[in-house]
Structure 1
Amino acid sequence: MIALAAVRGRAASLAGTFAGLTLGVALIAMALLVHVSAQPRTPQRLAAAPVLVHGPVAPDAAGVGSGVRPWTGSDAAALAGRLAGLPGVAAAVPDRSFYAQLVIGGEPVGDAEDAGAGHGWSSAALGAYPLVEGVAPAAAGQVAADVATGLAVGARTTLLTAGGPAEVIVTGLVGGPGVYVSDAEAARLSPGVPVIGLLLRDGADPAGAAAAARDVATGAVVATGEQRAALEPVQQAKTRWLGTQLLIAMASLAVFVTVFVVASTFALNVAQRRRELGLLRTVGATPRQIRRFVLGEAMLVGAAGGVAGALLGTAAAGPAGGLLVRWGLAEPGLEVRPQLLPVLAAVAVGVGVALVGAYAAGRRAAKVPPMDALREASVEARAMGPGRWLLGGGALLLGGFLAIRTAAAAADERVNSALFAAMALTAAAALLAPVLVPPLVRLVSWPLRGARGAGPMLVRAESLTAARRTAATAAPVIATVGFAVLLSGMVSTMREAYPAGQAAKLAGITVAVPDGTPGLTEAAAGGRAVLPTRVYANGLSIAAFGTATAPVSVAADVADALGVRVGDTLSVVFADGNAERLTIAKLTPDGQVDDDLILPRELVRRHDPSALAGAVIGVDAAAPAGLPGVEVLDAKAYADRESSEDTRLLWLFATVLIALSVGYTGIAVVNTMAMSAESRRPDLAVLRRAGATPRQTLRYAAAEALLVVALGTGLGLAVTIPPLLGMAGGLAEEVGVPVALRLHWPVLVATVLATAAVAVAATLTATRRASAHRSG
């Protein structure tokens, strides 16, 4: 009851905490709802088949993703024949996917990332794509095209396949995506069959058909309903993974900043209520009761913020999913549906975060001595207790360790390591701020020591006397500036490092790259470029790469997963379903190359007719420039192009997180500045009695707010420099050229100016209100 009454009585001072918790829970609820809704889905082109029979799903040897082991064409045909004879089955359709892209007006059309857009004509039925016009392709040189391409029946155009361009005639138009050739041509382009779709007769039970199929398809996987999502395309899984990373980053930042905001505002709240808490101690309240009183306030605010945030997050989840689709981080057609469990989890996190953030303040409140209720002057107790020293020192050591580790971290771990280092150092700066503030105030105010007037002296004395209050007010500024500088600096440093390293390696060399296609055809590659494929061995899916005259070599970690060593023989199943016995000639040390398995190029091409090359590097790369889907670049242009998509995604991630952190901590800046101004009511009264005009009072308040912003900016920069230096060092080691730390000055300046404007506006508003209250 006391906690509820206290919350009601201090609703204005707790408004910022409530707003921060509401936003944090909203972000967590939104991220969870979008993530749950963006789970793997059955590919649309197979959705019309209620039952899918496919080869065993093999996990990736590197621990990322999976693959479906294919059957040979003859084995698939025999299995399809047995499946077609089952009760209720109207047809059993072997599905083949391969690279095929139409060229219209000299430019390839369709999804440049989709290497599986070509199919045999029979596969159109698996997606219920009807023949809108014309007839089905029946021979080589004939295709059925998506009606959305605008082609007419009888039109002649160019079809790109892995072998190169070929002239084809459009015999029919299909009401669905993809390029369809005759089944015989599909078998030539893609000999292996990973999946067979079962089309059922009207009224047939999918569960019964699936049970019968399991008896026939020994060793295969029979999938119905949501189980069919295991056949999700690799590109779609990658897109969902990128979106998930952004959602995880948003939720993690929301949790951290919420704890940070709640801890700083509750600490300031407790500092301002020392006399009130001392009075409670005087009338007999025990330290445990005081602690429960503060935590009760936090629980009430957390519950209210959790409910409000859950409603806001549920409403924002749909638009957020739409933004992910627009940004290319989610597949089109994503439907975000309200679900109870993610929302309840977000509310629980909100309440838990409020309690964690208020715990330290509760412990400090329990130590308020009863005699504080009798004091007329508000004098701060010692700035630092043993617990604060211990936590601050530990956070500082952890942040330093993570910053050093950033320089040695693997490429895929470097960003997270830098982010966690900055989080730890930010927490350290906030915890140690009461010790750091006095010398920093003296340093900042040193040039003004001879300034005329009492203003600079008053601002300096107020900040030094109330070091804990100044530190608590500066804490959200530290987080605001720190995260903005860190995120923008990471992107700026990486944006310069990767192209520079690539350009240095290829100086003076021209490179042929795909232009509007997922890879280079054999005609463009000319037998020189590396051919990527996927093979299966010992129950694992392995990324393999064919290079000219290469011995069979395996990455050391993959060799451990396969249980092989140099000289061992390994049975490998290729994309066409056939197996080859290979002798391991070499092990590649971990981290030296990204290739799991190196094979002779000719072997890869023989078993995977649809494999596409990535790029052709060499002084004679201009030879294929006249072919469709090929562009020839110099070293610098190639390096910039290779990093352009990564840079776009990095800036997208950084922009979202910067906007989130700045907007989020801006709430805390407003709240702490307002609370700080409210606590200076007695000081304002003294200034007015001493002859200060209302304008002078406002100037003193604005100057103090700007001093706090300056202190927070300095500490915010200090906590980001070590992680950024570690990142620059790690990048230099990775790319092989010197990498300088780069700050994004426009973001830094804009963040500082925005924070200063918000802080001054909040301080002036609260000071006017406090002055009016005192006058009244």
Structure 2
Amino acid sequence: MWDLAWQTTKTRLSGFVGAFVAILCGTALVAGCGVLMESGLRAGVPTQRYADAAVVVGGGQTVAPPGTGALDGQQVAEQATVPVTLTGAITAVPGVRGVVAEQSFPATVVTADGRPLTGPEGGQSLGHNWDAAVLAPFSLRDGRAPVGADEVVLDADLASRSGVTVGQRVKIAVRSAPVEFRVSGIAAPKTGDGLTRQSALFFSPEKATELAGIPGQAHAIGVLAEPGVTPGDLAEKISAAVGDKVTVATGVERSTVEFLDVSQTRMLLMALAGSFGGFALLIAVFVVASTLALVINQRRREFALLRAIAATPQQIRKLIGAETMIVASVAGVLGSGLGVAVGFGLRNAFGAIGVIPPDFELAISPIPLVAALVLGLGTARLAAWSASRRPSSIRPVEALGEAAVERRELGRVRLIVGCALVVTGLAGSMVPIFVRGEAGLAASGSSALVIVIGLGVLGPKVVALMTRLVGPVLNRTSRISGYLAAANSQANSRRLAAAVTPVMLAVSFALTMFYSQTSAAAARQEETVESTTADYVLASGTGGLSPEVAEAARRVPGVSAATPVVRTEVLNTVQEQDKLRVERYAAQGLDGAQVRGNVDPGVVSGKITDLTGNTVAMSESEADWYEKKVGDEVEFFFGDGAPAKLRLVATYTREQAFGRYVLPAELARAHTGDRMDDAVLVRQQPDADAAAVTAALNELAVRYPGLAVTPGSAVAAPANGQQDAQFYVNLVAVGVILGYVVISVANTLVMSTAQRSREFALLRLIGTTKRQVVRMMRFEALATVGVAALLGTVVAGIPLMLLNLGLRGTPLPSGTVTVFGGVIAGAILLGLVSLGLATRVALRSKPIEAIGLRE
């Protein structure tokens, strides 16, 4: 069988080009996703502040309570801290040369002209205790270490940008109005003038502890090793000494303690690589199956003859499977190697849009490449099995008769499966009407995909129906070319379906991914504007706002309320059969005593003004899910992983604007990394002079550099980190997968057209001109992409309309219509160019020569 398969493959290489390209690109995508997933497990960025530390001990980086599945924990949303008391236990571990507890907090230099300086390229500017400088290590270039409470050491890059030297005084803001410090020294790391991700300021140990504001806690504990002691051995001993409630890191893992975005990136990479790779595999099955179906359909006579001379159905299936595996083996090996480049390309793309750090390194090993090869071969084998079912099931006595014309009917099982999938998808698209938030958004996207799969299964039937509608239009458009195009489309619905299905998938996928995210963002923004009744919004262009700003705004004459807003996330468990899963939810911190006149969360029970101390408010849907009522005790985890046990004081409806949990501002602030506010909402008194209040608020910007005052109507929706990241990930996914589909569809269209050279020759021999044939193919291309674009738009449109009805009360999706026009125009251009080029190539041969070519 393998010899026969090898011979048939060699003689039909052109017929397998489409399948080869589809498997090659699909395997490369899966391999690239595998590289990202492995990198999420064991890669990161080079550590900077802890470069000389053999081991770094930090707070717990994940929340995984007992009963949680191995992969069902969640990364903390805020920077976790570690108890300083652990330094004693670590010091006693054999092989430890030194232990330093490092404090880390936002500290911004303010220039003489009132301009706050961020870190390099807009990065962080952080203050630390001077004794932690040894961990990098930083060494003095000039001056001396800070001793007094008013002394500071700047890194050389920051000192240069601020224009100060040793002995001069500089203003520094640390969660307050800027305070003057004297520059006692200038330091630099081993290489360069500063760090690439952050600027560093060093204070005396006592002052740093005061400014950090977390008594008894530290950002991390750095451990220096004795000569000859390996970091791995030392880490094992330290883990035994400190227990499992903290993170003990060596090597590249140290960066996960140093940078919150690195620890979050690792979890994000595994999640998005898994979902992205799954999409790629699913689309690969579709594209490869469509391509193989087209190839096999063109070989109906060959398989009919084999059945007529007593070849068994199993032999036919084995032959098709063997041919496919030969092609897939070569394409899979090449695609796996190409996957490394795809992995780097995806990393660069995600880094460019801010989803992951641009300097995040990749881990490369043979494991994801081999896995991608196996999955690619499995995908090809599944597609071959699907495509071989029909030719292998023909009865020998009917074989040659069926080969003469294309079979129109679909099997009963296929009809039932296809209809069931379409109905399931339509039912799923109604979920956002009843369930809002991320669950409704996910259901909407999934339902569109299910409908596409269902229509793909019913492809020939659906295409036949559409061509019956399009046929009369083509007939009226052109008496000869239009008539021929309509007749071809109606007589070859299976061939047309092989081209329509992937184009429909691409159109639907692109529209659903883009407009579902823009609609969700619009819903958040609309609800935020509707629920915010403040007259002014105070925010900072350089980071968080000092907690002092809200108090200062309250003292402005004419101000009736100033509400601090702290945006964070919380984590809670969800019971799934016999295990727990941890989910992250958006949350806000508000001052219950100051919400009057500034926000309206849509309270349905309790009082939002009772939000003080150890209390919490929950969205109505969240409270119903956990069966909580006002007065009940609510348990969850703060963003930094600390457990919470708070009393429920109110429930509300506007969770898109406020998140699922609202905490007292002071409590929320205590569990964020910078312990600062994100905004302050200000309401003026009814009889106040608006101009005077505006002027007084603007004067606060002099005291707090970076502060901006905007009208309340300009309030922005709270950033939803997961949804924002998902939006950008989807943009990259759409681009990559559309590129894959475009290549595959172009191959399919070119291949199907190139095989029609005898048909074109016959048309020309009976009097049809070359120009009429070209016009006929142009009409066929328009019919193909027109049907695909229409079906893709309807498939995406139904879930999107229902999603917007559930989220925004209107069926019209939010977002620029340019994207829709671009997707449709791209589909039309793809069809015209692919079929046009292939037709012109097929028409080069003389008709009398082409009519004699074998099939």
TM-score by length of 1: 0.86
Residues 434 and 806 in structure 2, CA contact (< 8 A), matched pair in contact too: yes
2:248 is paired with a residue whose SS is strand
Residues 533 and 611 in structure 1, CA contact (< 8 A), matched pair in contact too: no
Q: Determine which of 647, 666, 689 is the counterpart of 1:584.
A: 647
- Sequence identity of aligned pairs in percent? 26
Q: Is structure 2 residue 145 aligned with structure 1 residue 80?
A: no
For 1:45, the equivalent position in structure 2 comes to: 49
For 1:170, the equivalent position in structure 2 comes to: 183
Q: Determine which of 591, 602, 613 is the counterpart of 1:547.
A: 591
Mapped to 2, the partners of 1:342 and 1:594 lie a distance apart of: 37
2:356 is paired with a residue whose SS is coil
Deviation, structure 1 residue 183:
0.7
Q: Is structure 2 residue 116 aligned with structure 1 residue 108?
A: yes
Deviation, structure 1 residue 696:
1.6
For 1:180, the equivalent position in structure 2 comes to: 202
Which sits farther off after the overlay, 95-104 or 606-615? 606-615
- 1:389-442 deviations in Å (ceiling 9; x for gaps): 022112202211221124444523344333322211112222223222233223
For 1:705, the equivalent position in structure 2 comes to: 781
RMSD (CA atoms): 4.1
Q: Determine which of 691, 704, 708 is the counterpart of 1:631.
A: 708
The one-letter code sitting in structure 2 at the alignment partner of 1:357 is A
For 2:4, the equivalent position in structure 1 comes to: 2
Residues 437 and 470 in structure 1, CA contact (< 8 A), matched pair in contact too: yes
Which sits farther off after the overlay, 521-530 or 235-244? 235-244
Q: Is structure 2 residue 75 aligned with structure 1 residue 65?
A: yes
For 2:549, the equivalent position in structure 1 comes to: 524
1:313 is paired with a residue whose SS is helix
For 1:343, the equivalent position in structure 2 comes to: 369
The one-letter code sitting in structure 2 at the alignment partner of 1:45 is R
2:430 is paired with a residue whose SS is helix
Structure 2 unmatched ranges of 5 or more: 66-71, 189-194, 553-562, 574-581, 594-610, 685-692, 850-855
Q: Is structure 2 residue 215 aligned with structure 1 residue 153?
A: no
Q: Determine which of 117, 131, 135 is the counterpart of 1:122.
A: 131
- 619 and 474 in structure 1: CA distance in 2 versus 1, 3 angstrom threshold: same
Residues 761 and 846 in structure 2, CA contact (< 8 A), matched pair in contact too: no
Residues 532 and 712 in structure 2, CA contact (< 8 A), matched pair in contact too: yes
The one-letter code sitting in structure 1 at the alignment partner of 2:793 is L
For 2:18, the equivalent position in structure 1 comes to: 16
Which sits farther off after the overlay, 78-87 or 295-304? 78-87
Mapped to 2, the partners of 1:491 and 1:109 lie a distance apart of: 34
Residues 565 and 681 in structure 2, CA contact (< 8 A), matched pair in contact too: no
Mapped to 1, the partners of 2:19 and 2:752 lie a distance apart of: 14
Q: Is structure 2 residue 819 aligned with structure 1 residue 747?
A: yes
Mapped to 2, the partners of 1:420 and 1:445 lie a distance apart of: 33
The one-letter code sitting in structure 2 at the alignment partner of 1:198 is V
Residues 322 and 334 in structure 1, CA contact (< 8 A), matched pair in contact too: no
Mapped to 1, the partners of 2:348 and 2:400 lie a distance apart of: 59
Residues 482 and 720 in structure 1, CA contact (< 8 A), matched pair in contact too: yes
Give 1:617-766 correspondences, 5 Å limit: 617-620=681-684, 623=697, 624-626=700-702, 627-639=704-716, 652-732=728-808, 738=810, 740-742=812-814, 744-766=816-838
Deviation, structure 1 residue 680:
3.2
Residues 134 and 153 in structure 1, CA contact (< 8 A), matched pair in contact too: no
Q: Determine which of 355, 364, 375 is the counterpart of 1:329.
A: 355
Q: Determine which of 118, 134, 144 is the counterpart of 1:135.
A: 144
- 1:243-292 deviations in Å (ceiling 9; x for gaps): 55554454233212211111111122222211100111122211111112
Residues 533 and 604 in structure 1, CA contact (< 8 A), matched pair in contact too: yes
Mapped to 1, the partners of 2:177 and 2:390 lie a distance apart of: 74
Q: Is structure 2 residue 371 aligned with structure 1 residue 309?
A: no
Mapped to 2, the partners of 1:562 and 1:180 lie a distance apart of: 49
- 1:125-161 deviations in Å (ceiling 9; x for gaps): 2222333332222222322222222243234332121
Mapped to 2, the partners of 1:700 and 1:142 lie a distance apart of: 83
The one-letter code sitting in structure 2 at the alignment partner of 1:94 is A
The one-letter code sitting in structure 1 at the alignment partner of 2:208 is A
Structure 1 unmatched ranges of 5 or more: none
Q: Is structure 2 residue 375 aligned with structure 1 residue 361?
A: no
Which sits farther off after the overlay, 231-240 or 53-62? 53-62
Mapped to 2, the partners of 1:380 and 1:120 lie a distance apart of: 79
Deviation, structure 1 residue 216:
5.8
- 1:484-524 deviations in Å (ceiling 9; x for gaps): 2223323443454333332222356211112111x110222
Q: Is structure 2 residue 678 aligned with structure 1 residue 614?
A: yes
For 1:197, the equivalent position in structure 2 comes to: 222
Mapped to 1, the partners of 2:261 and 2:398 lie a distance apart of: 65
Mapped to 1, the partners of 2:646 and 2:822 lie a distance apart of: 60
Deviation, structure 1 residue 587:
7.3
For 1:598, the equivalent position in structure 2 comes to: 663
Mapped to 2, the partners of 1:614 and 1:645 lie a distance apart of: 14
Mapped to 2, the partners of 1:53 and 1:655 lie a distance apart of: 37
2:110 is paired with a residue whose SS is strand
Deviation, structure 1 residue 536:
12
Which sits farther off after the overlay, 354-363 or 589-598? 589-598
Deviation, structure 1 residue 19:
0.9
Residues 554 and 584 in structure 1, CA contact (< 8 A), matched pair in contact too: yes
State the number of aligned residues.
Answer: 762
2:202 is paired with a residue whose SS is strand
The one-letter code sitting in structure 1 at the alignment partner of 2:417 is L
Q: Is structure 2 residue 499 aligned with structure 1 residue 497?
A: no
Residues 328 and 380 in structure 2, CA contact (< 8 A), matched pair in contact too: yes
The one-letter code sitting in structure 1 at the alignment partner of 2:348 is G
Give 1:433-452 correspondences, 5 Å limit: 433-450=459-476
Which sits farther off after the overlay, 204-213 or 42-51? 204-213
Residues 670 and 758 in structure 1, CA contact (< 8 A), matched pair in contact too: yes
TM-score by length of 2: 0.79
Mapped to 1, the partners of 2:639 and 2:758 lie a distance apart of: 81
For 1:26, the equivalent position in structure 2 comes to: 28
Which sits farther off after the overlay, 631-640 or 258-267? 631-640
Mapped to 2, the partners of 1:576 and 1:469 lie a distance apart of: 56
- 1:354-378 deviations in Å (ceiling 9; x for gaps): 1222222111121233346645973
Q: Determine which of 280, 304, 313 is the counterpart of 1:278.
A: 304
Deviation, structure 1 residue 124:
1.7
Deviation, structure 1 residue 14:
1.4
Mapped to 1, the partners of 2:345 and 2:634 lie a distance apart of: 54
Give 1:561-576 correspondences, 5 Å limit: 566=631
Residues 308 and 400 in structure 2, CA contact (< 8 A), matched pair in contact too: no
The one-letter code sitting in structure 2 at the alignment partner of 1:584 is R
